[in-house]
Every structure is written in C-alpha cells, then in structure tokens.
Amino acid sequence: MTSQTKKFIELSDIIALRLECKNQECKATLITSARDFRKGTLNACPVCKEPWAIVNGGSCELAVSDFMQAFHKLESMLCAGNFPAGFSLMLEIKEEPETIKCL
C-alpha cells in the first residue's frame, strides 16, 4: 500500500524569509520578517560580506522585492475578509524525502 500526504500553507502562514549564506566557511543565516522586507537586505552576507544578490552579472534583489510586494498585496486582498472571490488560496509545499531506517 502506498500513502501520500500533501502539505498546504495559507499566505498568512508565511511570516519570514530565511536567507543562508552559501559561503562554505560562513553559513550564516538571516531571518527577516516577510512583511518588513527592506531593499538592501540581499546586498551581502551580514557576517562574511560576500555578495548575495548578484546573479549573472545583475542583481536579483529587485525581483525578490517585487515578489514580496506582490505577495503582500495578494495576501491583504485575500485575507482581509472583504475580497469577493469565491476561493481561498493556499500554496502546496513539497514533501521532504523519507529516510529509510534499517533495523
């Protein structure tokens, strides 16, 4: 028999962004409120100062900032109780792979 569990989260359940430095010697994490994401947050790691937002010679910070603004706009429309749509919106998150334990 196979069993499958799906996990869904509501927009209001997303409360923070967790950023982790990819520098192998650093691995610092920064958690910032999803509601208060500020420009400049992605400039560099606050610990080792390695650049974070540089992707293919450009910065992805504006795309992240635009995403967060759109996210908040959608959340306020759907979660405020005055949105007349006949649906609710949830995001599905992937299941973590199970580890098989041998006895």
State pLDDT tens for residues 72-102.
888 887 766 665 677 778 889 887 776 666 6
| 2 assigned to some structural domain | no
Q: What's the pLDDT band for 24 if we cut at 50, 70, 90?
A: very high
Give the burial string for 17-50 (b: 16+ CB within 10 Å, else e): bebebeeeeeeeebeeeeeebeeebbeebeeeee
| 4 assigned to some structural domain | no
Q: What is the pTM of this model?
A: 0.66
The radius of gyration computed from the CA coordinates of the chain, to the nearest angstrom, equals 18
Q: Name the percent of the chain lying above pLDDT 90.
A: 16
| 97 assigned to some structural domain | no
pLDDT for res 83? 59
Domains in the chain, number: 1
| 100 assigned to some structural domain | no
Q: How far is CA 96 from CA 7, 24, 32, in A?
A: 10, 23, 24
> Domain containing 16: what range?
10-83
| 101 assigned to some structural domain | no
β-bridge partners, 59: 54
